[in-house]
Amino acid sequence: MAGVSSQSLAEARHELEPRLRTASLTLAEELFGVLDALDSNAGLRRALTDPNRAAEDKVALATSLFSGRISPEAAEIVRGLVAGRWAKPRDLGDALESLAATVAIAVAENRGQGVLGLEGLENDLFSFLSVVESSHDVQRALSEPQADGAAKSALALRLVPTAGEEARLLIRQAVLSPRGLKPSALVQRFIELVALRQERWIANVSVTRPLSDEQFVRLQAGLNRLYGRDLKVNVSVDPSLVGGVRVKVGDEVVDATAVARLAELRRKMAV
């Protein structure tokens, strides 16, 4: 996904983030249900992504279709997506799939008190992949398009009997609606989303010289206060920074190094 679709997805993720603190698995299920409806109707996908159609008209169409069938929260997320611009009709479905999976991932994150919940979900999904990839018979059974969906879902969940509810939902989705992929490939995509979420809990810090134990403790406490969660802090030494510190948490970079300040000064002088 690139261009306007990538921008629309980034905006949707930003708008979704505040909801994730109290997200429920039901919300993820509803969004996956809307995705199934879009995937089953090519005309609807085209209508909701038509660049020549006003955003208000597309939002009104989505509202008329899904009003009363999904929760107000899910409906608002869908309206936000439909109001965006999409290069291809499929991109809307891909974005909806990503948001639905992110909601399920956040539920695991909240239930497991952060990174531990994410690690548990990741382990469940990896366990599923390991079993599937070790058996060609299982791969064929899960990929057979004519096979009964309930039977495929039951088989998939039997492979990971101790998996949490979030992993079970994502695995069922991958088996029942792989959207042109092998189920294992879609599960791998979900794992990548888990890894992306995990980055929010890891602070990669670059400093010019090694920190003392006391300095490290103060740094970690300060970062935890700044981000409002207990981060895993990785410190590396980079003498080229010429003083200061650089912190990267997920996509956010806080740069207070002399190199960064000099670069900013050069930019201002060039204006």
pLDDT value, residue 265: 63
* Domain segments of the chain as ranges: 3-198, 199-270
pLDDT value, residue 13: 96
pLDDT value, residue 34: 97
Measure the CA–CA gap between 19 and 204, rounded to whole angstroms. 26
The alpha-carbon radius of gyration of the chain (Å, integer) is 22
pLDDT value, residue 3: 87
3-class SS shares of the chain: helix, strand, coil, % to 5: 70, 10, 25
Measure the CA–CA gap between 258 and 60, rounded to whole angstroms. 52
Measure the CA–CA gap between 114 and 260, rounded to whole angstroms. 32
Class of domain 199-270 (CATH, top level): alpha beta
pLDDT value, residue 269: 62
Measure the CA–CA gap between 156 and 172, rounded to whole angstroms. 7
Both ends of the chain: CA-CA distance in Å? 34
pLDDT value, residue 90: 95
pLDDT value, residue 180: 93
Measure the CA–CA gap between 267 and 270, rounded to whole angstroms. 5
pLDDT value, residue 258: 74
Q: What is the pTM of this model?
A: 0.87
- Burial of 169 (C-beta count, 10 Å sphere; 0-12/13-18/19+): buried
pLDDT value, residue 2: 72
- Amino acid at position 27, single letter: L
Report the sign of the C-alpha dihedral through residues 250, 35, 56, 43, in that order.
positive
pLDDT value, residue 271: 58
Low pLDDT (below 70) residues in the chain? 1, 261-262, 265, 268-271
pLDDT value, residue 212: 93
